[in-house]
Amino acid sequence: MTGEPPFRAPASPLPGRSASPVRVLVVDDSALTRRVLMAALNGASDIEVVGSAANGQECFAKVEELQPDVVTLDVEMPGMDGLAVLRQLMARSPLPVVMVSYLTHEGAEATVRALLDGAVDFVPKPGGPILGSVVTLRDELVRKVREAARARPRVGRPRLSTTTHRLPPVSVSPRPAPPPPARTPLRASDGFERLVILGASTGGPQALQAVVSDLHPDGRTAYVIVQHMPDGMTTVLADLLASASPLLIREARQNDRLAPDVALLAPGDWHLRFGPRGTIELDQGPKVHWVRPSVDVALLSAAEVYGSRIVTAVLTGMGSDGADGAVAVKQAGGTVIAEDKSTCVVYGMPKAVAQRGAAEHIVPLPQVAPTIRQLLAGTGRTRQPSLV
């Protein structure tokens, strides 16, 4: 699509659809860690480790020589660290990268920065003796490498739209669209008029940064963000998103109150729900779609409490989390936006929302924030897009 950031598709066929394995290059300065990662990956029948590298220069040479489908990249390497290597990879020959990092505070910050710079996902290095943690590491590493092979990494930071007057075009079905729900007046009991909920998974940090950078305080709208992420990383993500947004963004806490122009990010490993009078409730109930926090948990709760006051956008991500919640939001009179396939790193969650018929607006990433702004201003018409 003209004007959109370019993408790179996986070099090999999708796992499960061809005999061709996912070709992986392992990059880590530790010879022991390289051996452990290679053994874990080679244990999967649909993955082949085609090489390894101990530093950035070796990585660049091996990428050019071997043309891997996925690179696993250590965050903390001496000399040229993983962030510097990632940025050069994205500039030279962008391909799916899975970061590998200890989740210390420094490691968590570097990992989140890597996700903002185009890494598809990350795997935490196990604590304690690494050889004793191979089984724990293997399943997550193999799963995320398989998912990365399906991803289309975004090259560079997403461009923001300057369009503010008209909604972007979408494919419209011949059926007449129902009228939009009546605008809800400000409720003094909770102090805000509308609630915007953003949900994302794989590729989400980059997409979220693009959206929140282009949202404007209006004194009437509260925000919640749900990104699939473990404990220890969402505080960093909230700080980095806040540095790029005119909104006040921070990690949510138990019994927080929703407030205009404040975006609360669901903390890693905690589901976020909505209590009476605009309060936030956090719990560590069972994982939903194998994740916690879950977009569905937040949206289903919000639909019960806020109904037609909700505008939600489901962004890039693997799986179907958010689809059930989006249906509930639509049935309650709220408005649902899904990111278009053309800009998704992984077209899973938005696709599930669209296939369920819940998305009233399907737009590329640079148009998500303008669409939200126009809906909040009451200038956006509800439309029923046809599925492509």
Active site residue 228: yes
Phi first, then psi, for residue 355 (nearest 5°) are -65, -25
Name the CA radius of gyration of the chain, rounded: 21
Catalytic residue among 117, 228, 289, 296: 228
Catalytic residue among 52, 101, 161, 201: 201
Catalytic residue among 321, 324, 340, 361: 321
CA 379 to centroid of chain Cα atoms:
28
Burial 187-211 (b: 16+ CB within 10 A, else e): eeebebbbbbbbbbbbbbbbbbbbb
Can you read off the two tokens belonging to residue 154? 């975004």
DSSP H helices, 150-278, are 204-212, 234-242
Active site residue 361: no
Quote the CA–CA distance of 122 and 183 in Å, as a whole number.
Answer: 42
Quote the CA–CA distance of 163 and 167 in Å, as a whole number.
Answer: 8
Quote the CA–CA distance of 95 and 11 in Å, as a whole number.
Answer: 9
Residue 367 Cα distances to 3, 123, 273, angstroms: 12, 31, 27
Can you read off the two tokens belonging to residue 282? 């956090």
CA 80 to centroid of chain Cα atoms:
27
Quote the CA–CA distance of 84 and 95 in Å, as a whole number.
Answer: 15
Quote the CA–CA distance of 27 and 216 in Å, as a whole number.
Answer: 41
DSSP string, 266-316: PPTT-EEEE-GGGBEEEE----BTTBSS-HHHHHHHHHHHHGGGEEEEE-S
Angle between the 295-306 and 323-331 helix axes, to the nearest 10 degrees?
Answer: 10
Active site residue 121: no
Residue 33 contacts residue 133 (beta carbons within 8 Å): no
Catalytic residue numbers read: 201, 228, 321
